[in-house]
Amino acid sequence: MPFLQELKRVAALLEIRLDQLLKPEPTHSGQARLIEAMRYGVLDGGKRMRPFLLVETARLFGVAEDAAIEAGMALECVHCYSLMHDDLPAMDDDKLRRGRPTAHVAFGEATAILAGDALLTLAFEILSRTSVHQDAKVRVDLIALLARAAGVNGMAGGQALDLAAEGQNTTALEVSRMQAMKTGALFGFACAAGAVLGGADAPARDSLAAYAAALGQAFQLADDLLDAEGDVLAAGKAVAKDAGRGKATLVGLLGIDAARARLAALIDDAEGALALFGDKAATLKEIARFIAARRG
Amino acid sequence: MPFLQELKRVAALLEIRLDQLLKPEPTHSGQARLIEAMRYGVLDGGKRMRPFLLVETARLFGVAEDAAIEAGMALECVHCYSLMHDDLPAMDDDKLRRGRPTAHVAFGEATAILAGDALLTLAFEILSRTSVHQDAKVRVDLIALLARAAGVNGMAGGQALDLAAEGQNTTALEVSRMQAMKTGALFGFACAAGAVLGGADAPARDSLAAYAAALGQAFQLADDLLDAEGDVLAAGKAVAKDAGRGKATLVGLLGIDAARARLAALIDDAEGALALFGDKAATLKEIARFIAARRG
């Protein structure tokens, strides 16, 4: 199946399961509104790149797609909670995301905060279920990995570095470190989770970790290029906002041409890291090229 | 050991472990500030009633205190994250907690939101560790229980009901349901976790669930009485704020005398639910009486 069709097929399966999982309660109105906000945050028409990465990594090891999609749901809940909280007025104060009002604009700040909290919590509930894997040890390993990827030494820590860097002089090294935590950690989880579900050996795990590290950097660089070269319609959100807000990005520090060259090198690195898997890794390589070429 | 000394002993052990776990990183200033805010939120001189309940429930089944304290740390991280987020301007807008500025007053809103997120995430990381229990199945059961207690059908859902009820006409039944989710769910987790760690049988688990349900209600009623009869110094936070904000409480709906009678009945229920355990449950009974009598 062509790459884009496959990406959409997995996204559709993921959304069916998320929709089932987050059925609104009919009785308690306050709770129904919270669930509505969680649905708004997570059923948002995203490309589902992170769960797709998890599913395709797990496929290398013959893991059943259903199980990988369950784990992907947890990952997407964490990703979407982080968007809801990052968009808040006290954080990045964004009003538009994927062409729609952000959650706090649509539901109010209190509900957006709570819905994010509840999505983060739900992620760990999902990973605790036997539908992810029969072996409790595998589930608890996934939970530990996700908690570390999302926590103070991962995504949340990266967001703290990002907030602290606003308006400061920042080096390319510092920006890279921040992005490795803020964006890279969840890409790392996606690939590590596929490997854990598949019982991968150490060389396979190391190769996937190298692939994920390059991919996460490439994704962020492509995002920054999109912002710098800005097209609001394609991006579905406000653009050129990083510069306006005094946020250092690699594109700002390196210039657009050097950033494009670095992006190409990262894609080479990502593809090279997959040598061990031969032709089985064709889709993972396509993911890398897709990320480099994306326009929205 | 007298009850208050025992409560303080367990709280001190818990705080030593939390202090070790949240050592500030020396290098990245933004991350160090996030860790500082997490420490501020969780090392706050609370009584640690929920972890104490977990430790004392686990003790019924001969569980090593160290392991129960590890699980109690996860519970306290969730409790303290919820306080940080509930205190935010968009939520209850509280400026004072336990006699100190709330986290967003001390660190700013963005850092208070992130620190809460990171504490919630940390709770699941803690429960994934073998220091809680050697058996991965036990750890994953604890994770599932905590996620359900904290999520949309537990604490977060209860907070949503609470927000939705402000300024509305609310019945005693609706207030009880909200409180069972917002406060009761974590008391329920404390007792269920002790039972899971101890490999308790179904009758023991049911007895502890009944005890926790009565105790959670009693705790909330005592809190509401404290607010209504208000003494800022004893409470360490603003009082009479529920009425001022149009929040329905059972004390407001029933009157102080009927609320006191109900509190006494709940303590009887809580003690009665422990009959199965005989003298071994003496400390759990003292917890119930302590909660009913508390003034701060």
CB pairs under 8 A between A and B: 169
**And the tokens for A106?**
């649509």
Total domains in chain A come to: 1
Alpha carbon distance B85, A56 (integer Å)? 36
Taking the complete model, does pTM exceed 0.90, yes or no?
A: yes
Q: Return per-residue pLDDT of chain B as tens, 296 residues.
A: 789 999 999 999 999 999 999 987 666 677 899 999 999 999 988 899 999 999 999 999 999 999 999 999 999 999 999 999 999 999 999 999 989 999 999 999 999 999 999 999 999 999 999 999 999 999 999 999 999 999 999 999 999 999 888 777 788 888 899 999 999 999 999 999 999 999 999 999 999 999 999 999 999 999 889 888 875 555 555 555 666 666 778 888 889 999 999 999 999 999 999 999 999 999 999 999 999 887 65
CB-based contact B156 A121, cutoff 8 Å: yes
Q: How far is CA A292 from CA A225, B28, B209, in A?
A: 10, 29, 54
Tell me which of A18, A23, A34, A148 to substitute to probe the interface with B (most B C-beta atoms closer than 10 Å): A34
**And the tokens for A237?**
């959100």
Alpha carbon distance B124, A40 (integer Å)? 25
Looking up tokens 């009485």, which residue turns up?
B225
CB-CB: which of A120, A147, A161 is closest to B30? A161
Tell me which of B21, B23, B31, B178 to substitute to probe the interface with A (most A C-beta atoms closer than 10 Å): B31
CB-based contact A151 B122, cutoff 8 Å: yes
| pLDDT digits 0-9 by tens, A150-163 | 999 999 999 999 98
Distance from CA of A201 to the nearest CA of B (A): 20
Taking 80 as the threshold, does the pLDDT of residue A268 lie above it? yes
Chain B neighbors of A122, CB-CB under 8 A: 147, 151-152
CB-based contact B147 A30, cutoff 8 Å: no
CB-based contact B120 A125, cutoff 8 Å: no
CB-based contact B125 A144, cutoff 8 Å: yes
CB-based contact B125 A111, cutoff 8 Å: no
Query: Residue B82 maps to which CATH number?
Result: 1.10.600.10
Alpha carbon distance A238, A85 (integer Å)? 17
What was the pLDDT predicted at B238?
59
Chain A neighbors of B117, CB-CB under 8 A: 81, 85, 116-117, 120, 156
Give φ, ψ of B126 to 5 degrees: -55, -45
CB-CB: which of A90, A157, A177 is closest to B34? A157
**pLDDT band at residue A265 under the 50/70/90 scheme:** very high
Alpha carbon distance B198, B91 (integer Å)? 37
Boundaries of domain holding B213: 3-293
CA contacts within 13 A on the Cβ side of A8:
5
Closest-CA residue of chain A to B22? A152
- Single-letter code of the amino acid located at B229: E
Whether B192 and B212 have beta carbons less than 8 Å apart is answered as: yes
Chain B neighbors of A150, CB-CB under 8 A: 121
What was the pLDDT predicted at B296?
52
B280-B281-B282-B283 Cα dihedral, nearest 10 degrees: 110
Chain A neighbors of B163, CB-CB under 8 A: 30, 110-111, 114
CB-based contact A161 B38, cutoff 8 Å: no
Distance from CA of A276 to the nearest CA of B (A): 31
Chain B neighbors of A88, CB-CB under 8 A: 110, 113
